[in-house]
Amino acid sequence: MSLREALEAGRFAVTSEVGPPKGIDVSAMMASAELLRGRVDALNVTDNQAAVMRLSTIAACVHLKQAGFEPVLQVTGRDRNRLAIQSDLLGAASLGITTVLALTGDHVVVGDHREAKAVFDLESVQILKVIADLNAGHDMTGHDLIGTPEFYPGAVVTPGSVPLEPQIAKFEKKIAAGARYFQTQAVFDIEAFAHFMSGARESGAKVLAGVVVLRSARMAHFMNKNIPGIAVPDGIIATLERSENPQQTGIEIAARFIDECKEVCDGVHIMAVGAEHLVPQILDAAGLTEVIA
Amino acid sequence: MRTVPTASANDTLAFGSERQRVYAPCRAKCPVYIDVPGYLMAIAEGRYTDALETVLERNPLPSVCGRVCLRPCEAGCRRCNLDEPIAIAQLKRAAADFGAYPSPVPLARLGFSAGVVGGGPAGLTAAYDLAMAGFLVTIYDAKPKLGGMLRYGIPNYRLPDYALDKDLDYILSLGIEVETDVSIGTDVTVAELRMRHDAVVVTTGLQGSRALPIPGADAPQVLAALSFLAAAACGERPALGAKVVVVGGGNVAMDVARTARRLGAREVQVVCLESSEEMPASADEVWEARQEGIKVDCSWGPTEVATEEDGVCGLDARRCTAVFDSQRRFAPQFDESETIRFAADTVIFATGQSADVAALGLELTPRGGIVIDADTMRASEPGVYAAGDVVNGPTKVIDAIADGHKVAAYVIRDLTQDTSRLEQLAEGAEALGSVPDSMKSKIEPKRRIQMEKLEFYEAVRNFEEIEQGYTEYEAAREAQRCLGCATGARLSHEKCASCLTCMRVCPHHAPMVKAGGFLYFDADMCHACGACASQCPAQAISLEGHSEEEMGIRTQRALEGAGEDTTLVFACGCTPSRPDMPGSEVRTMTTTCLLRASETTVLKALQSGAARVVFAGCVEATCRYPHARVLVEQRVSLLKDMLGQLGLEDRFIATTEAPEEDVHLR
Amino acid sequence: MIVVRLKPLAEICPMVAHHHRVLVVGCNTCAAVSLAGGEKEVETLVAALSLASSAKHETAQFEGDVVQRQCEPEFLEDLDASGYDAILSMGCGAGVAFIAENCQLPVYPALDTMFIGVSKGFGSWQAECSACGSCVLGETAGICPITRCAKGIMNGPCGGVQDGVCELGDRDCAWVLIHDRLAAQGRDKACSIGDPKDNAAKTLCPEWDMNKGHGESR
């Protein structure tokens, strides 16, 4: 069952993500994917994440697909103009990669090639529109395609963004532009997230809650300070601070949150950030024990 | 810069388009329009010679006027409304004391010759102007030495001979010929003078004393003020009794009374018609006379000089109830019932002066003055001009100087057809208004620095000069009180890029935008701090005396003959201390504010031979322009950055705030 | 106006190092208003380069001149470059280019051209326009997302915004500002999707001749 099928069937879905290497040796990437085999519906493949140059997303997706995983192709507007984006999408579709996630992309100046020209010819909403165009059998200028792809487009939303209103407006634009599912920036406060979802539900889009496994109070503090839209509640930080085994506590916190999400949204997107080996344990603790085919 | 014209102070409409020419009120009130803020600024920056040259542009008698001018300028000083006026005259003396008199350079000889009759202030000024214009000039004077009333009227304790001679030497260095002990009309006739010269200028002043026509006035112990003063000036000791009564209420009466004290009179009494409020003598003079133990009795009209066999025994007088009528005309009223006798051995009349020029054969007024044509200053004989007190009656020294300029301008016009001097004299100027209320709080009150004087008990023993003069430090401090009125921002519209930077950096809201995007400056608001000029990218704003060019010249001057390891210190005017640079020759250039030393000025100084440049920062407590400090800091960091990039970072040093030295102010 | 700033001297010096007599030319319009290329800055640069040259015992000479606008042929006619072997322009890029086009000498830039912007106060400017050739300010409450959003995006804030500040940390998020101002004006454009930018509008405008009217670009 693909991610699309799972979400459309109403099964609580689980995704995670892997980062392509800087270089051509994909063994570490594949090893971390192996740790998740059978426990996730799909694996997101980041696109030069944080504007740090790495192996191409499409190539990484192909490696994963060949190994039997369902990859989610992240497409950003940072490095490619509208020709390259369409062309890459068609290329991906031709290789059977159709689950895509449209993002604007981090700015080049935060990455490792800060003097690069930032493209941003299209941003997330426009990329979603382009995907809709391709799915309709033509490119964004109306020229017919030979062979029509069937992308399942998704996007991201940050429920904790401050101020929230422009974020919600953009969320609505993304839905209007064809986003079928969303993964969120990491969320920790289930009540605030539930409030966001009560509005989001009306749109009909599927939402995967972003989950980050906190491994220490320091990590929580760091994320609060440095990552836009993330707010780890003080209570969680206090719990981590009190814990004798913060990693175990972090696993428990993530598991409880995932368990609570079952009533609130359509799935979770686990950003393990180097702790992929903990994911099965978390899912077990969250009661998601069944093996995904 | 090659092609962009630099606006000079004179060719610019001073404050943008709003006003044609605005003078500081001190300057506007000066009969000869001395650039007072200009010379005060120079003194504040320690440039005494520049200050002296500025004064000499308008007044060839700075040493004299620095001592005896009645200073109409100070009444106009905008500090009057804040604390006390600047000691403008005393600072003029400081310029003459510490500055070097230049060598005046006359225009090429024109072949014209002028004879000036009378070597007082009007005659000296006229002679100076004519000589500067290229005339051959001869001054004739009846006395053995030049100076007129300056030498023979004003006592030495106010104006010593050396102070007068300083100015005379300067004037005569133009090559003016002098014939003394010559009475025109008796020794030489006017007709003879007309043969010798193309123009004759009569400036003989008022040499006669008017006595009151009362009984006893012809007694031998009754003296005339002028001859008494002249005798004292020549070192004679006119015979005086123990009790001297001086009749008169003007400055001459005070001079006579004080001179009499110095000549040994035990009791000196001044008796005058006017009430103490109406006395024509300046309040300072009256106060000083009283300090010297002189009694001043007002509102008495003398009726008779009482005499006995031995001579004068007193002065009888009746109460004067009013001196002037409702139209301010002289019409004394008396109360005959109230009379008094002032005991006296000697009576000196200081009740007015008269011209004594009947022998010249010129047409005279009923009071004996020379009649001139107001439009030409010519007297009744062709080629003969007259000016000064002999025409106008008694006036101030500075008025006589102004009249001397005027008559010279007429002579020059008549003989050379050059009207420029006359036009210059006719040019009016608007005076700056008083300090707006919104500005008052931004000006820190500062007390006027009192000049050291002889104690009065000591002063009356001889004719030594009472005022001792400022020290250089005191002069600079006093000059720093000047608000620099009307010396501030001058805008060249031609160069202005309308960037509005001046508006943004001015803390006093002096620059404003007019409709159409043109800038203009409200001179009333301007503090002459120079913040705008220092930041103007188009160099469209200049401050008087501080253009890039002028600063460059001064830098060169400061570095003249400097050795290899010379440190040039740009010192803020408020910083009395100087950085210690061991092993280095230190040259100092004081500026009103460090902002006046631009980046270019500093860089050029380094290129002109300064091994390093130091900015000696200001002292917070005395900083004249506190708001400028942030801009100075910006300039310092810009210079450091630039020189650092050129690998020359060790050649510019900004000192931190220098602690004020414990300088004792008297 | 065009906002410019002085290049580091360490960058300027090598450019003119091999020349003997260099004319530094200011521009009394935008560059002067930017406090970077007026007569004052020309004099300062001339003094700095002269000092650097003499400190190294070199004989290169630097002199200054200012023209009203370097981007006008008539103003450039006043420029007398005879006797010089290079020009150092203190104008914007257009000024540098136009002098280079109008004289035979090598021309070097002393300034970096930053943006089209507005004054925020003494010595402070903000970019407001990118000269994109197809203005959208009518839809964005007068705040240019092309210029003031680091990514120049068209459909609202990216995920990098934090408390209304851009992920680059050096500016307010343009889209938060746009959203706020539209809301304050009672204008709700949140749901209409901004089309991809028409980049051809600029690409096809190497010059603009009003006598010929809108050409192919529109």
Domain edge (last residue) among C59, C80, C115: C115
Distance from C-alpha of B660 to C-alpha of C10, rounded to nearest angstrom: 39
Per-residue pLDDT band for B108 (boundaries 50, 70, 90) equals confident
Interface probe for A, chosen from C153, C168, C170 (most Cβ of A below 10 Å), is C153
Tell whether C211 is covered by a domain.
Answer: no
Closest alpha carbon to A19 in A40, A45, A52? A45
Domain at C61, CATH number: 3.40.50
For residue A161, list chain C residues with Cβ-Cβ distance below 8 A.
157, 159, 161
Minimal Cα–Cα distance from C148 to chain B, Å?
24
Is B646's CB within 8 Å of C8's CB? no
Residue A212 DSSP one-character state: E
Contacts of A179 (CB under 8 A, 6+ apart): A102, A128, A153, A154, A155, A205
Is the domain of C110 the same as that of C134?
A: no
Edge-to-edge strand order for the sheet containing B199-202? B177-179, B136-140, B113-117, B199-202, B384-386
Tell whether C217 is covered by a domain.
Answer: no
For residue B613, list chain C residues with Cβ-Cβ distance below 8 A.
none
Is the domain of C21 the same as that of C91?
A: yes
Q: What is the pLDDT of residue B642?
A: 95
pLDDT tens profile B525-583: 888 888 999 999 999 998 888 888 999 999 999 999 888 889 999 988 776 666 677 77
Q: What is the pLDDT of residue B18?
A: 42
Distance from C-alpha of C84 to C-alpha of C99, rounded to nearest angstrom: 14
Query: Which whole-number Å values give the CA distances from A7 to A65, A182, A240, in the listed order?
Result: 20, 11, 33
Is C38's CB within 8 Å of B538's CB? yes
Tell whether C213 is covered by a domain.
Answer: no
Q: What is the pLDDT of residue A281?
A: 92
Report CA dihedral (B460, B465, B470, B471) to the nearest 10 degrees.
Answer: -100
Q: Residue C159: which of A82, A176, A185 has the nearest Cβ?
A: A185
Is the domain of C145 the same as that of C173?
A: yes
Chain C contact partners (≥3 CB pairs within 8 A): A, B
Give the other-Cβ count within 10 Å of A175's Cβ: 20
Query: Which whole-number Å values give the CA distances from B7 to B241, B531, B541, in the listed order?
Result: 66, 18, 9
pLDDT tens profile B135-186: 999 999 999 999 999 999 999 999 999 999 999 999 999 999 999 999 998 9
Is the domain of C164 the same as that of C111?
A: no
The answer to which of B192-206, B260-274, B521-535, B573-587 has the lowest mean pLDDT is B573-587
Q: Closest-CA residue in chain B for C79?
A: B3
Is the domain of C27 the same as that of C76?
A: yes
Q: What is the pLDDT along chain A (293 residues), one digit of tens a residue?
A: 899 999 999 999 999 999 999 999 999 999 999 999 999 999 999 999 999 999 999 999 999 999 999 999 999 999 999 999 999 999 999 999 999 999 999 999 999 999 999 999 999 999 999 999 999 999 999 999 999 999 999 999 999 888 999 999 999 999 999 999 999 999 999 999 999 999 888 888 999 999 999 999 999 999 999 888 899 999 999 999 999 999 999 999 999 999 999 999 999 999 987 788 899 999 999 999 888 86
Distance from C-alpha of B541 to C-alpha of B535, rounded to nearest angstrom: 9
Is the domain of C94 the same as that of C11?
A: yes
Q: Residue A158: which of C151, C159, C175 has the nearest Cβ?
A: C159
Is the domain of C62 the same as that of C32?
A: yes
Tell whether C206 is covered by a domain.
Answer: no
Q: Closest-CA residue in chain C for B505?
A: C122
Interface probe for C, chosen from A76, A80, A162, A203 (most Cβ of C below 10 Å), is A162
Domain edge (last residue) among C87, C115, C143: C115
Tell whether C124 is covered by a domain.
Answer: no
Phi/psi for B431 (5° steps) reads: -90, 140
Q: What is the pLDDT of residue B17?
A: 36
C residues 163-202 lying closer than 8 A (beta carbon) to A = 163-164, 167-168, 175-176, 179, 183, 190-191, 193-197, 199
Q: Can you give the C-alpha Rg of chain B in angstroms?
A: 28
Tell whether C46 is covered by a domain.
Answer: yes
Distance from C-alpha of A73 to C-alpha of A88, rounded to nearest angstrom: 10
Give, in degrees to the nearest 5, the angle at Cα B134 between B132 and B136. Answer: 100
Is the domain of C6 the same as that of C100?
A: yes
Is the domain of C104 the same as that of C12?
A: yes
In order along chain C (218 residues), what is the average pLDDT of each group of 10 residues? 96 95 97 97 97 92 96 93 96 97 96 97 95 91 95 93 93 95 83 83 83 62
Tell whether C23 is covered by a domain.
Answer: yes
pLDDT tens profile B458-493: 899 999 999 999 999 899 989 989 999 988 888 998
Report whether pLDDT(B308) > 70: yes
pLDDT tens profile B20-64: 578 999 999 999 999 999 999 999 989 999 999 999 999 999 999
Report CA dihedral (C15, C17, C18, C19) to the nearest 10 degrees.
Answer: 90
Is B497's CB within 8 Å of C42's CB? no
Q: What is the pLDDT of residue C215?
A: 56
Expressed as residue numbers, the domain containing C63 is 2-115
Give, in degrees to the nearest 5, the angle at Cα C217 between C214 and C218. Answer: 65
The token duo for B563 is 């050795």
Long-range contacts of B181-187 (CB under 8 A, 24+ apart): B181/B141, B181/B142, B181/B143, B181/B144, B182/B140, B182/B141, B182/B142, B183/B142, B183/B359, B184/B117, B184/B140, B184/B142, B184/B359, B184/B360, B185/B357, B185/B358, B185/B359, B185/B360, B185/B361, B186/B359
Report whether pLDDT(B635) > 70: yes
Distance from C-alpha of C48 to C-alpha of B420, rounded to nearest angstrom: 43
Tell whether C121 is covered by a domain.
Answer: no
Is the domain of C81 the same as that of C172?
A: no
Domains of chain A: 3-209 (3.20.20.220)
DSSP H helices, chain A, are: 3-9, 27-34, 57-66, 82-94, 124-135, 165-176, 190-200, 217-226, 234-242, 246-261, 279-285
Contact A167, A161 (CB under 8 A): yes
Distance from C-alpha of B327 to C-alpha of C118, rounded to nearest angstrom: 66
Mean per-residue pLDDT, B586-598: 89
How many domains, in total, are found in chain C?
A: 2
Is the domain of C136 the same as that of C111?
A: no
Distance from C-alpha of A258 to C-alpha of A210, rounded to nearest angstrom: 10
Contact B222, B312 (CB under 8 A): yes
Phi/psi for C87 (5° steps) reads: -125, 135
Is the domain of C153 the same as that of C103?
A: no
Report whether pLDDT(B423) > 50: yes
Domain edge (last residue) among C115, C145, C168: C115
Distance from C-alpha of A108 to C-alpha of B453, rounded to nearest angstrom: 78
